[in-house]
Amino acid sequence: MPEPLTSEERLRYSRHLLIPEIGEAGQVKLKHASVLLVGSGALGSPAAMYLAAAGVGSLGLVDDDVVDVSNLQRQILHGESWVGKPKLDSAVARLKEVNPHVKVEAHPVRFTPENAMQIAAEYDLIVDGSDNFPTRFLTNDTAFFLKKPLVYGAIHRFEGQASVFAPHLGGPCYRCMLPSMPAPGSAPSCAEAGVLGVLPGIIGSLQAMEAIKLLLGTGSTPLGKLTVYEALQSSFRSLNLHRDPNCRLCGDQPEIASVTNSETTASTTCESTTISMQTITTLELRNILTDEFDGLLIDVRQPDEHAACNLPEAKLIPLSTLPAELDSLPKDQEIYVHCKAGGRSAKAVEFLMDHGFTQVTNIAGGMDAWLKEE
Ligand SMILES: [Zn+2]
C-alpha cells in the first residue's frame, strides 16, 4: 500500500481530488511518481513549476548553466536575484517555495552520453526541455533504451511543438521525425532567431500536462501526434507522425546500439532549435493539390513502392538518386516531398535546403498518413 495523503496534502490538492479522473487514488499516484527534466530553462521552467505544484513527488533537474539576465524574459523559474548563480540552485529554491512536499533532486551537470542512462534510470519519465539537437537526440535515445516515455517540446520564435515519443508503447521516436542532425546553419540558433517569451510557457505547460496524464494513466497519449502551435495564426494543428521502419533507432533493422552515437556526441557550438523545416500534413497537401497546383511534388521512395501505389501528381526521384537530379529541380517553385512515413522525405528536404533550395516542404506521415485518410 503506498503512503496515503496527509491532511495538509488533501487540502493542498483539493481541486484535484474533486476531479473523478484524479481523485485521491490519482493524487497518491502523483505523490509516488518521479519525472526527470532535462534543462531548467525556457521549457523546463513552466514544466517544473506545474509538475511541482501538481504534487509529482520527485522531480529531477539536469542543468549545468548559470542564470543570465537575458534568460529572464522566458525562464520564469529564475529571478533577478539569481543572475550569475547556478540555475539549479535557483530552481531548487523556487520549487521548494511552490511546493515543499516535492523532493527536488539537482543534477548540476551536462546531460551527456556518459551519464544519461544512469541519471534517467531513476525516473518514471523524461521531459525534454533542452535547446540543442545533440541533447534532444540523447534524451530520445536514452528514453528509448530505458523504455520510458519522452515528453518532447520545442520552440522557435512564434511556433512551438509538443509530443510524446514512446516506441515501447507504440508510435514513433524523435528520430522517426528527424532522422539525422540538420546541417549546421540550416536551423538558426535561439540566440540568432529569438523566441517570444510566452511561447515556452505554452509549450512547457503542454509538456507538464502530458507528463501528468501519463503518470495518472488518464486520457490518451499523443503517440504519433505532433501538436504544432502557431502563435501568429492563433492556431493549434495536429500532425500525424509514423514510426519509420527505416529508423536507425526504433526501426526494423536498427543501427544504433547505445546512447553514444554520431548525433548525441556532435558538438553543440550551434545552439539550435528543432524546427528547421517547413512541414505540412497530408490533409493540407490535399488542399494544395488542386487544378491550380503549380509546384513540384516529389516521391523519394523506391520504384517498387511507387509502382505499388502513388499520387499521380508526384514525380518519382528515389532518395539515393536525388543528388544526381539536383540540377534539374527548380529553385523558383514550391517543392513538396513525400515518402512512405515522413523519414526519408525529411532527409530529402534537409538535403535540398543544404543545396540552396528555400521553398521546400516535407509531408508529415507520407503515404501511410495519406492512405489512412481515405
Ligand atoms: Zn524511430
How many A from CA of 257 to the centre of ligand 1? Answer: 13
Q: Is 339 a catalytic residue?
A: yes
How many A from CA of 177 to the centre of ligand 1? Answer: 7
CA distance 108 to 104: 12
How many A from CA of 225 to the centre of ligand 1? Answer: 14
How confident is the model at residue 187, as a pLDDT? 55
Q: Rg of the chain's alpha carbons, rounded to an integer?
A: 22
CA proximity to 79, closest of 96, 67, 64: 67
Identity of residue 372: K
How many A from CA of 144 to the centre of ligand 1? Answer: 9
**What does the CA dihedral 173, 176, 177, 181 come to, rounded to 10 degrees?**
100
How confident is the model at residue 197, as a pLDDT? 93
Identity of residue 166: A
Instruction: Look at the block and give the residue holding cell 526504433.
Output: 250
Q: Which three cell numbers stand for residue 198?
A: 510566452
How confident is the model at residue 184, as a pLDDT? 56
CA distance 318 to 292: 26
How many A from CA of 227 to the centre of ligand 1? Answer: 18
Query: Which is catalytic among the residues 173, 176, 190, 270?
Result: 190
How many A from CA of 183 to the centre of ligand 1? Answer: 20
How many A from CA of 167 to the centre of ligand 1? Answer: 7
How many A from CA of 172 to the centre of ligand 1? Answer: 5
Contact 37, 107 (CB under 8 A): no
Q: What is the pLDDT along the chain (374 residues), one digit of tens a residue?
A: 788 999 999 999 999 999 999 999 999 999 999 999 999 999 999 999 999 999 999 999 999 999 999 999 999 999 999 999 999 999 999 999 999 999 999 999 999 999 999 999 999 999 999 988 999 999 999 999 999 999 999 998 889 999 999 999 999 999 998 888 776 555 554 455 688 999 999 999 999 999 999 999 999 999 999 999 999 999 999 988 989 999 999 999 999 999 999 899 987 644 444 455 788 888 888 888 888 888 999 999 988 888 888 898 999 999 989 988 988 999 888 999 999 888 889 889 988 888 888 889 999 888 988 888 77
How confident is the model at residue 272, as a pLDDT? 40
How many A from CA of 339 to the centre of ligand 1? Answer: 15
**In this structure, are strands 278-280 and 296-299 parallel, antiparallel, or unpaired?**
unpaired
How confident is the model at residue 270, as a pLDDT? 43
Query: Which is catalytic among the residues 176, 247, 270, 339?
Result: 339
How many A from CA of 248 to the centre of ligand 1? Answer: 7
Listed in order, strand segments (DSSP E) in the chain are: 34-38, 58-62, 103-107, 125-128, 150-156, 159-165, 225-230, 235-240, 278-280, 296-299, 314-316, 335-338, 360-363
Q: How far apart are the first and last CA of the chain?
A: 49
How many A from CA of 175 to the centre of ligand 1? Answer: 5
How many A from CA of 90 to the centre of ligand 1? Answer: 35
How many A from CA of 76 to the centre of ligand 1? Answer: 32
CA proximity to 195, closest of 143, 163, 164, 159: 159
